[in-house]
């Protein structure tokens, strides 16, 4: 089995994370460092793979008495065997000297590392997560093990980094592939979710895509359906419909609760997905609920394809398309250029356009902009509009780099860069979108002040 080791200084939440990933309360957790723990290993199921999960917290108390000694001794043998190390920091505490010390040591071990900013519930984790870039262990992933936030992302990131099946537990030293680890586009099927309001035609669409009547559809909201996960195939390979919870319905509930359910079901589904098809009943236009779901997609950093269903029943197609596009562009400025596909799930007309558009959106979401081209572009942007004055002094913006893809995430370095006003950020993000052809995907811009 692939070995995944949870490491980090005491009290950053290693055992809580361990319990979360194992799915049972296997280790004892407490709020004081160094509590005795009876277990340190368990098997865990992560995205269909079984891994051996090791919690180094369980080894701590046997170790020498200094903090560094404890961290080192508890982790050394575990890390040596690891296919992946989950290095945890406490986002509320920020980066401590012990974290930095441990990071330096960990980099020398040459095992793949995923950096985790734990205790990032709510907004407060963002700053420490940024700070964590300085550890040189790649892009930090913000989670809250205790509150269960970011875990689906985490499982995906872990699964993406595991050695291919049947090749686990590598022999010999495959040296320090630490940096750039997050760049890699995972193998395996594209993960797709179909979401939308009740009666938008999601089930009908799914049946169309599957080419068989696997699910029941009907005009009356109130049919009970089970969630299903299914595989589709197109010319480019498999596509997994990750979670069709949005297609589930409870019998006999009123319309308002049904609407609410469609949003919460969408959240579940889109967290599992890479690409999200937001399905609308085009005869009804864009609803506030649709925008709400789209904003969730943006917030979760997924890419979105807008599907205008029931196109057969639309009378003035040109006007409808225009009205919907206008509404989307004005209400969802953060996701300009969302690809739009119109079809009739009922008759099948136009449905064949959907998957190619999904594939293209997925490519955009995975895109990497070369650093040279990025900075040549950045310089022209600075020339065209000088960075603003803040507190009477002009901000000095120095350079940019793309930290990761999925979604495209850029870091902007400069003196007091963290003070860059929103409108200048928007100017840069819109410029990135146009110049590097990144329609429809969320784009993240992180600001990093330098001295």
Stretch that binds ligand GDP, among 50-58, 213-221, 398-406, 413-421 (CB under 6 A): 213-221
Looking at the Cβ atoms of 204 and 402, the one nearer to ligand GDP is 204
State yes or no: residue 217 binds ligand GDP (CB under 6 A).
yes
State yes or no: residue 209 binds ligand GDP (CB under 6 A).
no
State yes or no: residue 199 binds ligand GDP (CB under 6 A).
yes
Spatial separation of the C-alpha atoms in residues 60 and 35, rounded to whole Å:
9
- 141 beta partners: 116
Binding residues for GTP: 8-15, 55-59, 118-121, 196-203, 243-247, 309-312
Helix (H) / strand (E) containing 29? none
Stretch that binds ligand GDP, among 35-43, 62-70, 197-205, 299-307 (CB under 6 A): 197-205
Looking at the Cβ atoms of 141 and 194, the one nearer to ligand GDP is 194
Least distance CB 200 / ligand GDP (angstroms): 4
State yes or no: residue 342 binds ligand GDP (CB under 6 A).
no
89: phi then psi, degrees, rounded to nearest 5: -120, 165
State yes or no: residue 144 binds ligand GDP (CB under 6 A).
no
State yes or no: residue 2 binds ligand GDP (CB under 6 A).
no
21: phi then psi, degrees, rounded to nearest 5: -75, -35
Give the one residue of 276, 345, 358, 428 binding ligand GDP; rule: CB under 6 A: 345
Residue 172 Rama label (left phi>0; alpha psi -120 to 50; beta): left
User: Nearest to ligand GDP by Cβ — which residue?
Assistant: 201
Looking at the Cβ atoms of 313 and 333, the one nearer to ligand GDP is 313
Q: How many residues does the chain have?
A: 451
Least distance CB 143 / ligand GDP (angstroms): 31
How far is the first Cα of the chain from the last one, in angstroms, to the nearest whole number?
A: 46
Site string for ligand GDP, 306-335 (x = CB under 6 A): ---xx-xx----------------------
Looking at the Cβ atoms of 310 and 406, the one nearer to ligand GDP is 310
Least distance CB 303 / ligand GDP (angstroms): 21
Looking at the Cβ atoms of 313 and 390, the one nearer to ligand GDP is 313
State yes or no: residue 204 binds ligand GDP (CB under 6 A).
yes
**Contact (Cβ atoms closer than 8 angstroms) between residue 112 and residue 181:** yes
Least distance CB 226 / ligand GDP (angstroms): 13
Sheet with 303-309, side-by-side order of all strands: 230-234, 237-241, 190-196, 275-281, 303-309, 340-342
Spatial separation of the C-alpha atoms in residues 303 and 440, rounded to whole Å:
7
Least distance CB 353 / ligand GDP (angstroms): 13
Please enumerate in sequence order all residues whose Cβ is within 8 A of that of 89, keeping only pairs 6 or more positions apart, or say none: 8, 9, 12, 95, 99, 115, 116, 117, 118, 128, 132, 135, 140
Spatial separation of the C-alpha atoms in residues 253 and 264, rounded to whole Å:
15
For residues 234-273, which are near ligand GDP according to CB under 6 A?
Answer: 247
Q: What tokens were used for 400?
A: 């940019």
Least distance CB 111 / ligand GDP (angstroms): 45
Buried (b) or exposed (e) across 103-118, using 16+ Cβ within 10 A?
Answer: bebbbebebbbbbbbb
Please enumerate in sequence order all residues whose Cβ is within 8 A of that of 18, keeping only pairs 6 or more positions apart, or say none: 6, 26, 27, 42, 53, 55, 57
Question: Which residues are at the interface with ligand GDP (CB under 6 A)?
Answer: 196, 198-204, 217-219, 247, 309-310, 312-313, 344-346
């Amino acid at each position: 089995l692939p070995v995944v080791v949870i490491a980090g200084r005491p009290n950053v939440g290693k055992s809580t994370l361990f319990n979360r990933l194992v799915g049972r309360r296997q280790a004892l957790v407490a709020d004081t460092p160094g509590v005795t723990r009876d277990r340190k290993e368990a098997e865990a199921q992560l995205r269909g793979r079984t891994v051996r999960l090791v919690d180094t917290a369980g080894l701590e108390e046997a170790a020498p008495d200094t903090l560094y000694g404890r961290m080192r001794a508890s982790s050394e043998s575990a890390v040596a065997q690891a296919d992946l190390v989950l290095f945890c920091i406490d986002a509320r505490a920020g980066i401590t000297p012990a974290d930095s010390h441990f990071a330096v040591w960990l980099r020398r071990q040459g095992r793949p590392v995923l950096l985790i900013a734990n205790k990032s519930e709510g907004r407060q984790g963002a700053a420490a997560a940024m700070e964590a870039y300085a550890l040189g262990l790649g892009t930090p992933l913000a989670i809250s093990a205790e509150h269960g936030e970011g875990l689906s992302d985490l499982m995906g990131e872990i699964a993406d980094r595991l050695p291919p099946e049947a090749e686990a537990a590598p022999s010999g030293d495959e040296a320090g592939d630490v940096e750039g680890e997050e760049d890699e586009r995972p193998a395996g099927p594209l993960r797709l979710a179909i979401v939308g309001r009740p009666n938008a035609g999601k089930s009908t669409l799914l049946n169309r895509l599957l080419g068989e009547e696997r699910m029941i559809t009907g005009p009356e909201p109130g049919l009970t359906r089970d969630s299903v996960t299914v595989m589709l195939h197109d010319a480019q390979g498999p596509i997994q419909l990750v979670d069709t919870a949005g297609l589930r319905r409870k019998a006999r509930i009123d319309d308002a609760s049904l609407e609410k359910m469609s949003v919460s079901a969408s959240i579940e589904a889109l967290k599992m997905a890479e690409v999200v098809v937001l399905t609308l009943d085009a005869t009804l236009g864009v609803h506030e609920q649709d925008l709400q779901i789209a904003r969730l997609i943006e917030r979760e950093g997924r890419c979105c394809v807008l599907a205008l269903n029931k196109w057969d029943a639309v009378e003035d197609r040109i006007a409808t398309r225009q009205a919907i596009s206008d509404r989307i562009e004005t209400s969802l400025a953060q996701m300009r250029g969302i690809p739009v596909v119109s079809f009739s799930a009922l008759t099948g007309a136009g449905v064949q356009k959907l998957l190619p558009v999904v594939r293209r959106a997925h490519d955009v979401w995975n895109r990497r902009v070369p650093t040279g081209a990025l900075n040549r572009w950045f310089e022209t942007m600075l020339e065209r509009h000088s960075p603003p004055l803040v507190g009477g002094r002009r901000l000095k913006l120095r350079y940019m780099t793309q930290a990761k893809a999925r979604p495209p995430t850029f870091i902007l370095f400069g003196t007091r860069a963290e003070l860059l006003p929103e409108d200048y950020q928007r100017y840069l993000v819109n410029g990135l979108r146009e110049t590097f052809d990144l329609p429809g995907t969320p784009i993240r811009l992180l600001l990093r002040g330098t001295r």
